[in-house]
Structure 1
């Protein structure tokens, strides 16, 4: 009798444990995050995604499992990561950057996708429209506030008439930014001089080609070009050519300045979208957004020492506009 009760008790404990384990497994959500390369803006985006999810009650280690992988700038690695992630079938795929998003969507038919830090998702063929994009994809564009940037650059370099633009012509986000800069620059009397660099090894040559032909050089959020930002800045210092960037994170590294969005904020917006999907919403019913139209403030970041090394003095008026100044 006692043995029978003991056995029943053990069975009950095991059954209870299995039920609890099953309940825990059912509650645990899985997302997969990847980026083509790790630079400050993209790491901020990733951290913002995690923070945004936490604000909605999805906590890593508690009810959320995150698989994060970085392709280290290699597209073949990115494609392999995409294949692995799709095979693992997480609840949501969260690609950061345009090439990463394209890789995740290319081989995926039904897993929900929330992209982040993609300059022009329509040009990149990730979505066909921002409002209720349909299918299984939505996300956040990090299109640069080009008008605000050009206005700042003109204040720093009053005689700005020609600005160099280094980019990888194979990247949709770079082409989109080039188009916007040409359009807005024309309205301000600024000519954009292109200098393509299909690979990181060609960035140095592309930069040198612009020296003496332009009043300043602009480095967009182009992962190919950004990988060589230190070399670009060195050329700017050696030739007194002002270097500006599309992303504020590179100002501390030696660019003169930029107007940018808060990439932690971009990530948080995406994180809330991911939470919506985990809550059961169809990503195609969630409006994709352009971050600078949603975020209330821009960051104006300047580097006084960098400006001096490139033969530029930042006026008191310009410095008063800054939210952050590196001395």
Structure 2
């Protein structure tokens, strides 16, 4: 080899190898996170997802990275956010809540999608069946949407002599019609006059509590990412406005809400994380049955009921999984 050619090869190597090394260091799997709410509000859920993911060998900063796309409770932004994740060529999409999952599915039929939701994925069209999802979508569900009628029954049990109760829903959520239909049917059976309130913003939530406090005896809060991200604030408002209410998560009760009844959302994200790891390791979403959580917990805040002048029956208290005294 001539000296000039040798020098040229050395210079090319010196310039190229660092670039190749840098690209190798950057060659990590990227998971896109499509969320209906905000990063802060869903921090605990994403942490549970990472835990499940790590158990399949994927660790953030080591061999996996995240690209986040949060709608900040503006569900109409989700389709565009889903498209941006696809343009970034992410390897997999975590869909946080049903609105996000529907947007992701509409945006791609090739990139694997793993959801963590509170609604029925078959009824909403996300999967063909629980056992055989088909396509590129699977995940974990805790079916809290379908427990809304039961929450009405529990609230009625706490307020047996009250015939006027309320239901709070977010009209922007595609699951709202299903929630309202189920609760309305339960109200008719129980002989309850049901008033439906709608809220899609913090201001509308505040206005709802002010209005409901003077018109209904208690409130069922429907399943929605906006309400989930504000569970503690809703619990505090229930106490502030002296309006007995029931939601689906512990945070609501811990903050002063009367009762909660539902599945464990963090558990769904944990299982979604494990599914994401399995898919990244080569398995197909179509072959992974939806993980359906059937465990439901009833929590009662006796401090709150006492402050509201209520006395739950021994049967209601005895049926609780946890009582806050």
CA contact (8 A) 1:237 1:310 kept: no
Partner in structure 2 of residue 47 of structure 1: 47
Instruction: Provide structure 1 residue ranges, at least 5 long, that are not aligned to the other structure.
Output: none
Q: Pick closer, same or farther for the CA change 1:185–1:56 going to 2, 3 Å.
A: farther
Q: 1:181 to 1:17 in 2, by over 3 A?
A: same
Kept after mapping to 2: 8 A contact 1:160/1:215: yes
> Conserved in 1, the CA contact under 8 Å of 2:300 and 2:324?
yes
CA contact (8 A) 2:37 2:225 kept: yes
TM-aligned CA deviation for residue 112 of structure 1:
0.8
Report deviation, 1:258: 0.7
The equivalent of 1:255 in structure 2 is: 257
What TM-score does the superposition give when structure 1 sets the normalisation length? 0.78
Any idea what SS the aligned residue of 2:167 has? strand
For residues 185-264 of structure 1, the aligned pairs below 5 Å read 189=190, 191=192, 193-197=194-198, 199-200=200-201, 201-211=203-213, 214-224=216-226, 230=233, 234=237, 237-238=240-241, 240-264=242-266
Contact kept? 1:114, 1:139, Cα under 8 Å: yes
Residue-by-residue CA offset, 1:201-236 (whole Å, 9 max, x unaligned): 444444455456544211122245567764785466
Deviation at 1:103, TM superposition (A): 2.5
Structure 2 unmatched ranges of 5 or more: none
Cα separation, partners in 2 of 1:198 and 1:322, compared to 1, 3 Å: closer
What secondary structure does 1:57 align onto? coil
Task: Supply the distance in 1 between the matched residues of 2:229 and 2:313 (Cα, whole angstroms).
Answer: 30
Q: Describe the SS at the equivalent of 1:251.
A: helix
Matching residue of 1:137? 137
> Normalising to structure 2: TM-score of the pair?
0.79
Distance in 2 between the 1:78 and 1:311 partners? 43
Are 2:305 and 1:307 aligned? Answer: yes
Aligned to 1:298: 296
- After superposition, the CA RMSD in angstroms is 3.8
Number of positions where the alignment pairs a residue of Structure 1 with one of Structure 2: 319
- In structure 1, what is the Cα distance between the partners aligned to 2:275 and 2:44? 17
Q: Measured at CA, do residues 82 and 161 of structure 1 come closer, stay the same or move farther in structure 2, by a change above 3 Å?
A: same
Asked if 2 retains the 8 angstrom alpha-carbon contact of 1:48 and 1:265, the reply is yes
Contact 1:113 1:136 (C-alpha < 8 Å) held by counterparts: yes
Structure 1 CA distance for aligned equivalents of residues 21 and 176 of structure 2:
50
